[in-house]
Structures are given as structure tokens and as C-alpha cells.
Amino acid sequence: MIRGKSDVKIMIGCLLRRTVGFALVWWVATEGNFTAWPLAVIAVAVTVAVSLRLLPPGSTPGLSLSGMAGFVGYFFRQSIRGGFQVSRLALQRQLQLRPAILELPVTLPTGLPRLLLIATLGLMPGTLGVRLEDDLLYLHVLDTGLPVVEETAQLSGHIARMLGVNR
């Protein structure tokens, strides 16, 4: 798979970043206690190997940090709104649900961007991804009066910016 010099560079950078990242996770998980360090070395090595297999270096070439900050911020705000909204719906004396299945066209590229969209939608206000067929997303919505089409478009935009892909 590795062909030129630049590929080797990408590979080494990727290895370094992931090793440091997973070592940090170990540090946090053990609360800074390194007495079991041989285990840590094995765990980090295995995790890096698995991650290279599942997400090869260069598979998210356009990953943008500012885009990620935008996505996380949006996700955070919308999670809070979604939690409040569904709590209100659950605790109302009379159930005010008006559920429906909506079909929306998806323009995000297949693979990770679409997967991220459909999984994330389940935590956003009033939406739940049900099926993805060709370029159509089947979305279960709690209330047909909610602005789910606009919000799904906003979420798609944030995902596209974060991963550096076209919407």
C-alpha cells in the first residue's frame, strides 16, 4: 500500500499521533498510575494496530480542527435542546406526538460521512435515522412540526466541513 516517500511520512505521522493519543487514553483510564506499564505498552500497540486496520492513514485527508470544533459545538447545543424537548414531550399530561417518516435526499459521500450523519441524528432534536437507501435517508421524526429538514442540513454541513468533503 505504501508507495512513495510522502506515504511513509504520512504513515509515521499517523503512527506517532495515534500512539500518543492512545497512551493518553491509558493515562486517563488508569488515573495517571503507570504501575501496570507493560500492559499499557501491549494495549496501546494492539489498539494502534487495530485502528490502522479499521481506519487506514489518509482515509480522512481533509480532517479540519476548526470544522471539528464547529461540529462539537453544534452537537453540544443540539443535544441539550433534544434532551429538553423529548423530556417535555414525555412528561406532558397528554402525549403530543405527531410522528412520521420523512424521506430526505443525502448529498454527503458514502462511508464515514453518511454513517456519522445517520448515527448522530438519533441524538439530535426530534430525529432518528431509520434507513439509508441509495441517496435517500429515511428519518423518523417525533413531531412533523419540527424544523428537522433545516437542522439535518445544518448537521450535514458541519460534518462536511469537519471531514473536508462536499455536502
Partner 1 sequence: MLLDLASNLLLLAGGFFFCAGTVGLLRFPDVYTRLHALAKADNLGLGCLLAGLALKADSLVQAIKLLAIWPLVLVASAVVGYAIAHRADQLGITPWQRDDR
Residue 85 makes contact with partner 1 by CB under 8 A: yes
63 vs 119 by CB, closer to partner 1 = 119
Residue type (1 letter), 63: L
- Kindly identify the residues of this chain, within the stretch 91-110, that bind partner 1 according to CB under 8 A: 91, 95, 97-101
Instruction: Select the residue interacting with partner 1 from 129, 137, 148, 156 (CB under 8 A).
Output: 129
Instruction: Select the residue interacting with partner 1 from 23, 52, 68, 128 (CB under 8 A).
Output: 128
List strands edge to edge, sheet with 127-133: 100-105, 136-141, 127-133
DSSP state for residue 56 in the 8-state scheme: -
Beta bridge partners, 102, equal 139
Q: How many Å apart are CA 77 and CA 57, to the nearest integer?
A: 31
46 vs 119 by CB, closer to partner 1 = 119
Q: How many Å apart are CA 152 and CA 155, to the nearest integer?
A: 5
Which residues of the chain form contacts with partner 1 (CB under 8 A)? 25, 27-29, 31-32, 79-80, 82-87, 89-91, 95, 97-101, 118-126, 128-131, 138, 140, 142
